[in-house]
Each structure stands twice: as C-alpha cells, then as structure tokens.
C-alpha cells in the first residue's frame, strides 16, 4: 500500500534537532528556524562531537558569518514561500526587512557563498512548493500560481518546465496515473 503524506519540513527539522540535543543533555533555546542558543559554551571537542552526531542526517553547524547569513536568507525564503498568503510581499523587500540588510548586500553575499543567485533559490523553492501543492492539495494551476505570487499560470508553467524539464500539466498527469495504478 502506498500512502501520500503531507509534512512540514521546518517542523521535522526543528523536532529532530531538539531530540538530538536532548540526547546529548544539552540545554538550549530555539531562536528561530535553524538557530539555537546553548546555555553553556562548548569546547572544541564538544563542538566536534555535536557536528559528528548531526552530520549523518544532513545537519551542519555553520561557523562562518557569511554562511550564517546565507542560511538566514534561505530560511527567510522558505518562510516566505510557505506562507499561506505571500502575495503581499516582494521577496527583496521581505528579505531586507527581515534580515536588516540591504537587498543588494544580501544578494552579493548569497552569490559569493553559494555561486548562485537569490532569485534562483526562490524559483527552486517555489517549484518545490508547487509540486507539493499539486501532490497533496490537488489545487489547480491557477490557484497555485496565485498562492505563490506568480503573475500568471504561464509564468509558473515556464519556470516549472525550466526547472523540472516537464510541464506542470505533465507532472499532474504522472501523479494521476501513479495514483490510478495503486488502486
């Protein structure tokens, strides 16, 4: 039997991190997604131990200030894309206000660290969100385009095809066929 499960990646990551830190008997406070404050300072050995415990699960302790800022940019973009109503926000204004830096500075740091642009990361996140919405909610492309702040369904379709190699309609047909085969 195949099940389709809806999940929130932010919640999963937060709960997993909390569980791992509690297993290590670390007292901490959650400051935001991907940001914690330990009640005690770790020595080099303790920090290395924490890194080794988290690494197999794809978690990484970020120590470089520019890398920290890039992670905050990514977290803010994910927050924006997963808002139920992000139509009122222009991404550049949202990021600048949320992170208290000019968008130009954020864009330069992001490109320097990731060798990609903020715009490309936003597109990737929006397309992933569109795929989730098609899978779980079975929303129409018009509804998805509106929710993700696209100017039109054609704009969403173009970015979807450029990113995935198939059109949203083809993606929906594949999903429908797979569901029919499971019955």
Joined tokens for residue 142: 């018009």
Does pLDDT of 151 surpass 80?
A: yes
Share of the chain above pLDDT 70, in %: 93
- 121 or 43, greater pLDDT: 121
Q: Over 60: is that where the pLDDT of 153 sits?
A: yes
| Residues 114, 121 contacting (CB under 8 angstroms) | yes
19-38 per-position pLDDT tens digit: 888 888 888 777 766 677 77
Q: Write the pLDDT tens digit of every residue in 43-79.
A: 778 888 888 888 888 888 877 788 889 988 999 999 8
Q: Which pair of structure tokens corresponds to residue 17?
A: 């991190």
Q: Scanning the structure block, which residue is given the tokens 């702040």?
A: 149
Domains detected in the chain: 1-61 (no CATH), 122-182 (1.10.10.60)
Given a contact cutoff of 8 angstroms between Cβ atoms, the answer to whether 80 and 10 are in contact is no
For residue 98, what are the contacts with CB-CB under 8 A and spacing of at least 6? Answer: 76
**How confident is the model at residue 46, as a pLDDT?**
80
Letter string b/e over residues 18-57, b meaning 16 or more CB atoms within 10 A of that residue's CB: eeebeeeeeeeeeeebbeeeeeeeeeeeeeeebeeebeee
Nearest to 125 by CA among 170, 71, 80: 80
């Amino acid at each position: 039997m195949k099940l389709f499960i809806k999940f929130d990646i932010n919640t999963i990551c937060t709960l997993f991190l909390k569980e791992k830190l509690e297993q290590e008997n670390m007292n901490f406070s959650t400051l935001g997604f991907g940001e914690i404050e330990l009640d005690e300072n770790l020595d080099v050995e303790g920090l290395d131990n924490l890194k080794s415990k988290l690494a197999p699960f794809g978690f990484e302790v970020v120590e470089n200030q520019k890398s920290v800022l890039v992670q905050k940019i990514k977290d803010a973009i994910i927050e924006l894309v997963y808002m139920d109503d992000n139509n009122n926000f222009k991404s550049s204004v949202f990021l600048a206000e949320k992170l208290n830096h000019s968008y130009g500075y954020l864009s330069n740091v992001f490109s320097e660290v990731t060798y990609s642009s903020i715009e490309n990361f936003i597109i990737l996140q929006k397309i992933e969100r569109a795929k989730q919405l098609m899978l779980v909610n079975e929303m129409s492309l018009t509804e998805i385009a509106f929710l993700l702040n696209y100017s039109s369904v054609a704009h969403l379709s173009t970015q979807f095809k450029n990113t995935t190699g198939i059109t949203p309609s083809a993606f929906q047909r594949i999903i429908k066929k797979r569901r029919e085969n499971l019955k």
